[in-house]
Amino acid sequence: MFANYLKVIKNLLFPRLCLCCEKKISEGHLCQKCEKKITFLAQPRCSYCLRPLNIDSISLCQECYNKTYPYQRLISATAYKEPMLSLIHLFKYKNYDYLAGFLSSLIIKHLSEIGFNPNKYKLITSVPLHKDKLKIRGYNQSGLLSKLLSNHFKIPFKDDIIENTNIRPSQTKLPREKREKNTEGIFVVKENLENKSIILVDDIFTTGSTVSACAKALKEKCAGNVTVITLSKT
Ligand SMILES: [Zn+2]
Ligand SMILES: [Zn+2]
């Protein structure tokens, strides 16, 4: 009884609000309207760049047909628009690390819908933050997602395979060509990966330069297939 009173008082003083539109809600993180707006990426898509494909029987778009990528497949769960914009902003920059549970559940939902088979993978890791950035933020958002995917799929998680060795100006402020150059060579893998297939997790797929640089570093240390999984795609 007393606990119920406390709950009522707490709700009056600190009502739970939708993290996107700030409407009062009774449970969860989003109001129903905002939750419905979450857009999962429709299939089929190019395995390398995620351009939508017209037919199911091919896996690469015309642009990527003659290209090679350091990863074998790219999967993104959601479109980077509201409410994902608000959720990811809070998750990355405002210490809402507890959103990892909800956000990883969106990835798991998408993976199950596209029939993703996790069995061949021996390791899950994430795009690392530079240690100075990690110190300021206190957590690596992609690492939190990886950890939960690892628990769900029962695949071992290791967060220190890839090292981020360089401080660079914030990626988003640079034009595309410079961004690609800028990422080159700053990710280092020290251990031999013995042909293990690896899932590499990142929060947002933008140009692909970061995940490509990480996948390249993994391949240089004998990783088997690398599949990139991101929460959202711009
Ligand atoms: Zn809302
Ligand atoms: Zn493509």
Q: What is the pLDDT of residue 178?
A: 57
Cα(66) to ligand 1 centroid in Å equals 43
Tokens of 192: 């031999």
Domain span at residue 25 reads 1-37
Cα(53) to ligand 2 centroid in Å equals 9
Asked if 31 and 44 sit in the same domain, the reply is no
Asked if 132 and 145 sit in the same domain, the reply is yes
> For the segment 13-67, what is each residue's pLDDT rounded down to a tens digit?
778 999 999 999 999 999 999 999 999 999 999 999 999 998 878 899 999 999 9
Cα(117) to ligand 2 centroid in Å equals 21
Asked if 194 and 123 sit in the same domain, the reply is yes
Asked if 31 and 50 sit in the same domain, the reply is no
Cα(7) to ligand 2 centroid in Å equals 51
Q: What is the pLDDT of residue 179?
A: 55
Q: What is the pLDDT of residue 169?
A: 54
Distance CA 15, CA 126 (A): 35
Whether 234 has a pLDDT exceeding 60, the answer reads yes
> For the segment 219-228, what is each residue's pLDDT rounded down to a tens digit?
999 999 999 9
Asked if 15 and 49 sit in the same domain, the reply is no
Domain containing 55 — which CATH number? 3.40.50
Asked if 129 and 176 sit in the same domain, the reply is yes
**Average pLDDT of span 182-186:** 59
Q: What is the pLDDT of residue 22?
A: 94
Q: What is the pLDDT of residue 5?
A: 77
Which residues place a Cβ less than 5 A from the ion ligand 1? 18, 20-21, 23, 31, 34
Q: Where are the beta strands (DSSP E) in the chain?
A: 73-79, 123-126, 162-164, 187-189, 198-205, 226-233
Asked if 32 and 142 sit in the same domain, the reply is no
Asked if 5 and 73 sit in the same domain, the reply is no
Cα(59) to ligand 2 centroid in Å equals 9
Among the bound ligands, the one closest to the CA of 46 = 2
Q: What is the pLDDT of residue 229?
A: 98
Asked if 46 and 30 sit in the same domain, the reply is no
Which residues place a Cβ less than 5 A from the ion ligand 2? 46, 48-49, 51, 61, 63-64
Cα(79) to ligand 1 centroid in Å equals 17
Q: What is the pLDDT of residue 175?
A: 63
77 neighbors 41 (Cβ within 8 angstroms): yes
**Average pLDDT of span 186-196:** 93
Cα angle 133-137-140, degrees, rounded to a multiple of 5: 80
Q: How many domains does the chain have?
A: 2
Among the bound ligands, the one closest to the CA of 49 = 2
Q: What is the pLDDT of residue 181?
A: 53
Among the bound ligands, the one closest to the CA of 18 = 1
> For the segment 76-129, what is each residue's pLDDT rounded down to a tens digit?
999 999 999 999 999 999 999 999 999 999 999 999 999 999 999 999 999 999
Asked if 121 and 12 sit in the same domain, the reply is no
Cα(43) to ligand 1 centroid in Å equals 27
pTM of the model: 0.88
Q: Which has more confidence, 137 or 55?
A: 137
Asked if 57 and 84 sit in the same domain, the reply is yes
Whether 171 has a pLDDT exceeding 80, the answer reads no
Bridge partners of 228, per DSSP, are 74, 200
Asked if 17 and 44 sit in the same domain, the reply is no
